[in-house]
Structure 1
């Protein structure tokens, strides 16, 4: 594991706010030159701390007004059923996140849909027909008060 100094942590905070900024802009925000910023970013990537850059899409603006978190308990357990379930669920475009968890449910899914009728269609036709699906619990997102940020 790589030791991070205060400048590395400041750079990661700035990247979490807006990873699309240039190295010069990031360096200015943390008090580094552009070349020094590039060297630190390369070191963070090589260490696996920066695993890539992503675009943060606004689901609401794209017409997906409903977000639902599903707890999925598999009816049958075993390595084959886990792999089959994971392969099938990741192929569903409305499923934005698949987390294998410990607890009451085996998986936690984040599903987006245009509205509740669209979510019902996704649930009935796609999710409930997945291999090994047993119990499912749905929690509809009412508001998103805090977006994930730096660790």
Structure 2
């Protein structure tokens, strides 16, 4: 997949939207010195090209009951397409898994998992993660302090 060609106006629009996804077209137009119609067309083109993948609300994890953030590294028995596809399909259906990355190195996958508390986290790993297809080894670690979290990409 090739990068979409972004000009300075596109980059300014995208930075503004990353700061505030609820910005109005008027606010965006002012930020890039365009009238609203051409600004709206640019945003629409960025959406249609898949550069803007969606809009969301950023929730405060602890305020909605997820007090623990942990990382679970998985090593698999085998790396067949069948095993990895089955594991990835099941992980996609696990709402407590915020992200899943296929890794290089000692572990094959890393999951970012939320839980209400340590006991709930342990239970989730024992009952859900351990039963994922092909899992041979599990290693966990916990976030003691979140120093930085952003979805904003540098443009």
The TM-score bracket by the shorter chain reads: over 0.9
1:44 aligns with 2:34: no
Query: Over residues 50-78 of structure 1, what are the superposed CA-to-partner deviations in whole Å (9 max), with x where a residue is unaligned?
Result: 11112212211101011011111112220
Matched, 1:141 2:149: no
Following the alignment from structure 1 to structure 2, what is the Cα–Cα distance between the partners of residues 70 and 127? 9
Aligned-pair CA distance for 1:2: 2.7
Q: Name the TM-score, length of structure 2 as normaliser.
A: 0.90
Q: Which runs of 5+ in 2 are unaligned?
A: none
1:115 shift after superposition: 0.7
Q: CA deviation at 1:89?
A: 1.8
Q: 1:27 aligns with which of 16, 29, 42?
A: 29
Equivalenced residues, count: 151
Instruction: Indicate whether 1:119 and 2:121 are aligned.
Output: yes
Structure 1 equivalent of residue 64 of structure 2 = 62
Cα RMSD over matched residues? 1.4
2:134 is the counterpart of 1:132 = yes
Rounded to whole Å, the distance in 2 between the matches of 1:29 and 1:84 is 46
Q: Which runs of 4+ in 1 moved over 3 A?
A: none
Q: In the alignment, which residue of structure 2 is the partner of 1:89?
A: 91
Q: TM-score if structure 1 supplies the norm length?
A: 0.92
Taking the aligned partners of 2:84 and 2:141, their CA distance within structure 1 comes to 23
Distance 1:108 1:14 in 2: 31
Change (3 A) 1:9 1:62: same
Equivalent-residue separation in structure 1 for 2:125 and 2:135 (angstroms): 11
**Aligned counterpart, 1:13:** 15
Q: Distance in 2 between matches of 1:62 and 1:79?
A: 37
Would the aligned equivalents of 1:69 and 1:110 in 2 still touch at CA under 8 Å?
yes
Distance 2:38 2:153 in 1: 21
Is the 1:12–1:150 Cα contact (8 Å) retained in structure 2?
no
Cα distance in 2 between the residues matched to 1:33 and 1:150:
26
